[in-house]
Structure 1
Amino acid sequence: MNAKLILKRRDVLDEHRFTEAVIWELTQPLPGSAHRYKYRLAYVVDGVCMVRYDNESGKGDHKHLGADEQAVAFTGIADLLRAFRRDIENWRP
């Protein structure tokens, strides 16, 4: 499967925290997803991933908030990034 990298970014927020976003456009959807994107969005604090959005093959679109995992509705990349930022702003360990 051919893929085109459309975003790869790491933002260091301070010495303890960073965000990372990697998004690929695929030629066909992954199993479990209805769109042609593969993504991984992560918010890491002191080496521990606190918030993660991803769509690993077979699981579909979902997010991890600490130890909790829940499905998300994919409505587009911009919406996905907004939801990710909102979850980071609202994160309470």
Structure 2
Amino acid sequence: MKAEKLFQRRVILSETAFAEIVVWRVPAPISGSMHSYKYRLAYVVRGECVLRYDNEAGKGDHRHINDREETYRFSSPRQLMTDFFEEIRRWSDEHADD
């Protein structure tokens, strides 16, 4: 089985921000992950990626918030998207005056 792209979408959230979401089902877990998905979700504001969730080979499931990187506990693609958009809301609330 080859990797199967399940979802790819760019969501325009404002004049200056968008989210890019790509999720694949893979035949075997990516090194560092325990599930059969490969993903990258990015929130870009004014041309800068301020939030990213991904499972880069060897690093496993993690997220980047501004310059900070931390482990992410993946449970399902649906929960991944819920968590990502909740983090966008939180980030946007914190930076509303920027």
Q: TM-score range by the shorter chain?
A: over 0.9
Query: After the TM superposition, which residues 41-60 of structure 1 pair with which residues of structure 2 at under 5 Å, given as runs?
Result: 41-60=41-60
**TM-score after normalising by structure 1:** 0.95
CA distance in structure 2 between the partners assigned to 1:56 and 1:10 by the alignment: 20
Report the residue type matching 2:47 in the other structure: G
* Counterpart code for 2:75: T
Could you say which residue in structure 2 is the equivalent of 1:68?
Answer: 68
Aligned residues: 93
Residue by residue over 1:34-80, the C-alpha shift from the partner in whole angstroms, topping out at 9 and shown as x without a partner, is: 00100000100011001100000000000001001000111111111
Distance 2:13 2:89 in 1: 12
- Structure 2 gaps of 5+ residues are none
Q: Per residue, is there more strand in 1 or in 2?
A: 1
Q: Give the aligned partner of residue 22 of structure 2.
A: 22
CA positional deviation for 1:15: 2.0
Counterpart of 2:38 in structure 1 is 38
- Alpha-carbon shift at residue 14 of structure 1 (Å): 2.0
**1:27 counterpart letter in structure 2:** P
Q: Percent identity?
A: 45
Q: CA deviation at 1:18?
A: 0.3
What's the RMSD between the two structures over aligned residues?
1.1
Instruction: Provide structure 1 residue ranges, at least 5 long, that are not aligned to the other structure.
Output: none
AA paired with 1:51? L
TM-score (norm 2): 0.91
SS at match of 1:81: helix
